[in-house]
Chain A
Amino acid sequence: MIDDHPMIIEGYKNTLLGENQKEYQIKIDIASNCDDAYDKILKSSQSTPYDMLFVDIKLPPSSDGTITSGEDLAKHAKELLPKSKVIILTMHREDHRIHNILKNINPAGFLIKSDLTSSELLLAFNNIVKGKAYYSATVNDHFRKMMTNKFSLDEKNLKILYHLSRGVKTKNLPNYVSLSLSAIEKRKNQIKEMFSISKADDQKLLEEARKRGFI
């Protein structure tokens, strides 16, 4: 279990150990930062690999700065421990982040902390142990939204829409999205075309994006 809040780990433990002790023998290692977590993952990969990883997204970065979040950590874990199931637990519920995590990690479980109750956590745990993926309602919502659209927007496009919706001006977008201004303009036009509102202004674009659930 990787989380920088001992209280949260305590919560996980309380939930899992209370009920499941009867069915499963659960041995838990905990790590509160990326360095620790990476060390432990590495160690386990050489001895007994973990069956399951609880990964928080927001974590204190590693001392060498190569691993900055649970996302990076999960990527490493997938390489080192290909058989272990990764469960992402995060407070973040923004579409583009969800999208990103799903795309990059494709975790066995994706739980949004704010939605989570102990029974849901247990449900998820049991499902994943049985080899079934489990996603929080919010994540499923995202999937649904993605599915209802005939197309999907990539991370960069979603970011553009997200920042635009926050009120960032197009000319300042390069500071938020690692793209040149012209590239951003191009993408914005592409999005508009996809929304079939080619000549519309940003206001319209955002309205449409909101309607279609991209924001």
Chain B
Amino acid sequence: MLRFFYRCTCLLFIISIIIGCNGSERTPEKKELKSNLLESYLDIVKDRKNSKEERRSNLEKAYTIYSTISDNIYKVEKNFELCREYYSLKEYEKYKDLSEKALKLSKILNDSLSIAKAYAYLGIYYRRSKLDNIAYKNFYEAEKIYSLWNYNPENVKYVANEHGKVLIDIARIRQRAKDYSESEAITIKAIEKFELAEDETYIPLCYTNLGILAKFLEEYDKSIEYHKKAIEYAKGTDDETSRTLASYNNIGTVYKSQKKYAEAKEYYVKALSYKEYLSKNKKIHSRLIDNLAYVNFLSNDLTEIPELYFKALKIRESIDDKYGITTNTLHLAEYYQSINEDSIAKMYAERSRDISLELNNNEELLKSYRVLSDIYEGNEGLRYANAYIRLNDSLVREERLYRDKFARIEFETDEIAEQNLQISRENEILIIAILGLTALFLLGYIIFRQQQSNKELLFAQTQQEANQEIYRLLLNQQIKLEEGRQMEQQRMSEELHDGVLGRLFGVRLSLDGINQRANDGFTEARNKYIDELKSIEKEIRLISHDLGTETLTADVAYIDAVESLISDLCAVNNITFEFNNDEDIDWEEIDDQKKINFFRILQESLQNIFKHANAKSIKINFDFTEDKINLTILDDGIGFKSNKVKRGIGLKNITSRVSQMSGVVQFLSNKDAGTKVSVSVPV
């Protein structure tokens, strides 16, 4: 989960950086300017030849610029450089702040190596503050990252070196906690790392640590050997002198522990010969003097005592080296006790005790209690002896606890990590579950929607089908209606022809027959009516014929039917006609409804002409232009005033039929100028 979160934030950061590049730092030039400035300030700070004040002020300037940088990768890199400089200028709180910032940034960038480095830096801070527990925790975190790191050829040396540094730091903390064997193992591991890194800078430190450890384990020869090795390795390095002096001092101390005072003295004197160096490093100088004096005192060579002690003490007081002072005053107390100057001895012992209490330096405090219990007599002496025993017991207890402590710290750290991992795993499961559920829900929803829309589609489809069915039924109905009508017409035609006509004929014949015989002077008049009857018969036969032949089924050649209609009607009405059909019209493709409509329009128009127009000739045209069929019916009759005769049934029928076919109809007429009916219908 955390990793996921980091990844997200990291991504966000990268995005914001990208945006930032276009936003806060508008141009790459500006960015470059910033880094250049920062580098130049840092160069000044790094140059140890410059005065501390100058370096400090430049460091502050560098820090100000650093704060405005938004490129995190670059920022982390510079962060460590700034840290180092703050440390070298002894601004430890700043160092800590920056280290913490580095840790945060590295975590955002998910940069493991930087995270480890930041932990190591923080470890250094806490170790300096004598907070070994916290320091150990930080070093342990760093060590964990390094030990899990998969070396690759590109940065194997760098990582090994960093790992070695962390290991030696851990080893030293463990050494201080008197966990000697563990410390020794870790130190050896550190040496291996440095060898892998092919960097000998820290190897002297390792051997020094091994030497110290060997001394505590009372393997004195081995210890001396290690210290000598440290000197060997320090040769040619930058801090050869300081390493060598430290080793001399250590060797002296080993010999002192072996009670080989002469050898010890030899090394201290050797160390003290580095006068130039020592004049600058007063702490070491004073320690060497004090140690030399103490060896002299132990070997009963009291020639320069207590002058040497005072010399050391004076230096230590001048640099306020409190740890040194406790040891120094204790040595003085021992000396004055040995020459039975109990009151002076008391004074020094008490001073040592007070400072030790102040520093919480239990080892020196224990020594001071021992000295004090020896100096004082009676109750006071007993009281110090008791204090000594109590402190000793508690120290032994503490030591035992101390050793376990690291295991506990490691365990706790691991446990927290484990817990974090557990939580993150749980969160991951939770997220996966939520995502899964969401996906499932979405899937369900989509399926549901799909089904819904399918249903809708199906519904629309059935509706459409239903509509089509209705339309088809309507059409069928129409056809049936038409069929029925035609059948009815046929029936009427036959009825007229065979029935009515027959009977009329019979009547006429009878009347005629009777009329032949009657002689009442009305024969002529009756004959006239008989003729009238004959003409009625003729008319009925024509009607019957019309009714019977008007069968516009698909198998009737349309234009023939039209022409026969026209010719028949014109023949009856004694009008000449001219009929033209455009060959381009494909009547077979035109739907029956339209054909029927045209037919009826024509019929209606002709009917009108015959009834009203008094025309002598008519002209009928079917034209085909631009996907439109144009029917023109022209007569030379008396015409009518277009606006006057508006809505006769005949015209109305024509208009409605044309609009049914979404066409246009026009009636053009003027008195004595004939009539023109134009119908235009799209195909």
The answer to whether A118 touches B512 (Cβ under 8 A) is: yes
* Chain B hits for A18, CB < 8 A: 513-514, 516-517
The number of chain B residues touching the other chain, given as a range, is: 20 to 34
The answer to whether A121 touches B556 (Cβ under 8 A) is: no
* Chain B hits for A58, CB < 8 A: 498
* Chain B hits for A164, CB < 8 A: 560
From the candidates A6, A11, A114, name the one contacting B541 in the complex (CB within 8 A): A114
The answer to whether A10 touches B510 (Cβ under 8 A) is: yes
| A172, chain B: closest CB distance, angstroms | 4
Interface centre among B499, B509, B515, B561 (most CB of A within 10 A): B509
Is A103 an interface residue, CB under 8 A from the partner? no
Once the chains are docked, how many angstroms separate the CA of A121 from the CA of B535? 18
From the candidates B499, B510, B561, name the one contacting A15 in the complex (CB within 8 A): B510
The answer to whether B510 touches A19 (Cβ under 8 A) is: no
Q: Mark A168-180, 1 if CB is under 8 A from B, else 0.
A: 1101100100000
Once the chains are docked, how many angstroms separate the CA of A17 from the CA of B503? 19
| A160, chain B: closest CB distance, angstroms | 14
What secondary structure prevails in chain B residues at the interface with A? helix
| A204, chain B: closest CB distance, angstroms | 12
The answer to whether B561 touches A11 (Cβ under 8 A) is: no
Is B505 an interface residue, CB under 8 A from the partner? yes
Residue of A nearest to B501 (CB): A91
Q: Mark A188-208, 1 if CB is under 8 A from B, else 0.
A: 000000000000001100100
The answer to whether A7 touches B506 (Cβ under 8 A) is: yes
* Chain A hits for B557, CB < 8 A: 167-169, 202
Once the chains are docked, how many angstroms separate the CA of A205 from the CA of B513? 45
Q: Mark A1-27, 1 if CB is under 8 A from B, else 0.
A: 001111111111111111100000000
Residue of B nearest to A122 (CB): B516
* Chain A hits for B215, CB < 8 A: none
Q: Mark B377-404, 1 if CB is under 8 A from A, else 0.
A: 0000000000000000000000000000
| A161, chain B: closest CB distance, angstroms | 12
From the candidates A5, A168, A171, name the one contacting B506 in the complex (CB within 8 A): A5
Once the chains are docked, how many angstroms separate the CA of A7 from the CA of B512? 13
Question: With A165-B564, A167-B558 in contact, do A114 and B516 touch (Cβ < 8 Å)?
Answer: no
Is B520 an interface residue, CB under 8 A from the partner? no
Interface centre among B512, B556, B561 (most CB of A within 10 A): B512
Is A63 an interface residue, CB under 8 A from the partner? no
Once the chains are docked, how many angstroms separate the CA of A113 from the CA of B499? 13
Residue of A nearest to B518 (CB): A18
Interface centre among A16, A118, A121, A165 (most CB of B within 10 A): A118
* Chain B hits for A169, CB < 8 A: 555-557
Once the chains are docked, how many angstroms separate the CA of A9 from the CA of B530? 18
| B160, chain A: closest CB distance, angstroms | 103
Is B508 an interface residue, CB under 8 A from the partner? yes
* Chain B hits for A168, CB < 8 A: 555-557
| A111, chain B: closest CB distance, angstroms | 11
Is A211 an interface residue, CB under 8 A from the partner? no
Is A127 an interface residue, CB under 8 A from the partner? no
* Chain B hits for A167, CB < 8 A: 556-558, 560-561, 564
| A162, chain B: closest CB distance, angstroms | 11
The answer to whether A19 touches B555 (Cβ under 8 A) is: no
Question: With A15-B510, A18-B514 in contact, do A116 and B560 touch (Cβ < 8 Å)?
Answer: no
Once the chains are docked, how many angstroms separate the CA of A19 from the CA of B350? 188
| B597, chain A: closest CB distance, angstroms | 17
Q: Mark B503-547, 1 if CB is under 8 A from A, else 0.
A: 101111111111111000000000000100010011001000000
| B84, chain A: closest CB distance, angstroms | 109
The answer to whether A165 touches B508 (Cβ under 8 A) is: no
The answer to whether B509 touches A14 (Cβ under 8 A) is: yes
* Chain A hits for B509, CB < 8 A: 8, 11-12, 14-15, 116-118, 121
Is A130 an interface residue, CB under 8 A from the partner? no
Is B502 an interface residue, CB under 8 A from the partner? yes
Question: With A165-B560, A168-B555 in contact, do A14 and B505 touch (Cβ < 8 Å)?
Answer: no
Is B549 an interface residue, CB under 8 A from the partner? yes
Question: With A114-B537, A166-B556, A168-B557 in contact, do A11 and B516 touch (Cβ < 8 Å)?
Answer: no
* Chain A hits for B564, CB < 8 A: 165-167
The answer to whether B498 touches A19 (Cβ under 8 A) is: no
Is B497 an interface residue, CB under 8 A from the partner? yes
The answer to whether A117 touches B512 (Cβ under 8 A) is: yes
The answer to whether A10 touches B506 (Cβ under 8 A) is: yes
* Chain A hits for B517, CB < 8 A: 18-19
Once the chains are docked, how many angstroms separate the CA of A160 from the CA of B102? 111
| B484, chain A: closest CB distance, angstroms | 21
The answer to whether A113 touches B516 (Cβ under 8 A) is: no
* Chain B hits for A10, CB < 8 A: 506, 510
The answer to whether A9 touches B506 (Cβ under 8 A) is: yes
* Chain B hits for A12, CB < 8 A: 509
Residue of B nearest to A113 (CB): B505
Is A119 an interface residue, CB under 8 A from the partner? yes
Once the chains are docked, how many angstroms separate the CA of A9 from the CA of B555? 40
From the candidates B497, B549, B555, name the one contacting A91 in the complex (CB within 8 A): B497
The answer to whether B513 touches A11 (Cβ under 8 A) is: yes
From the candidates A6, A13, A118, A121, name the one contacting B515 in the complex (CB within 8 A): A118
From the candidates A11, A13, A17, A19, name the one contacting B505 in the complex (CB within 8 A): A11
Residue of A nearest to B581 (CB): A203
Interface of chain A residues 111 through 139 with chain B (CB within 8 A): 113-114, 116-119, 121-122
Interface of chain B residues 290 through 311 with chain A (CB within 8 A): none
From the candidates A15, A91, A165, name the one contacting B513 in the complex (CB within 8 A): A15
Residue of A nearest to B503 (CB): A7
Once the chains are docked, how many angstroms separate the CA of A169 from the CA of B517? 53
* Chain B hits for A8, CB < 8 A: 502-503, 505-506, 509
* Chain A hits for B512, CB < 8 A: 11, 15, 117-119
Once the chains are docked, how many angstroms separate the CA of A6 from the CA of B506? 8
Residue contacts A-B, CB under 8 angstroms, 24 given: A3-B502, A5-B503, A7-B505, A11-B506, A11-B509, A14-B511, A17-B513, A18-B517, A19-B513, A91-B497, A91-B498, A91-B502, A113-B501, A117-B530, A117-B534, A118-B516, A165-B560, A166-B549, A167-B557, A167-B564, A169-B555, A171-B555, A172-B555, A206-B560
Chain B residues packing against A (C-beta within 8 Å): 497-499, 501-503, 505-517, 530, 534, 537-538, 541, 549, 555-558, 560-561, 564
Chain A residues packing against B (C-beta within 8 Å): 3-19, 58, 91, 113-114, 116-119, 121-122, 164-169, 171-172, 175, 202-203, 206
Q: A5-B503, A15-B516 are in contact. List 16 more A-B contacts (CB 8 A).
A: A5-B502, A7-B503, A14-B511, A14-B513, A16-B513, A17-B513, A118-B512, A122-B516, A165-B564, A166-B556, A167-B556, A167-B557, A167-B560, A169-B555, A169-B557, A206-B560
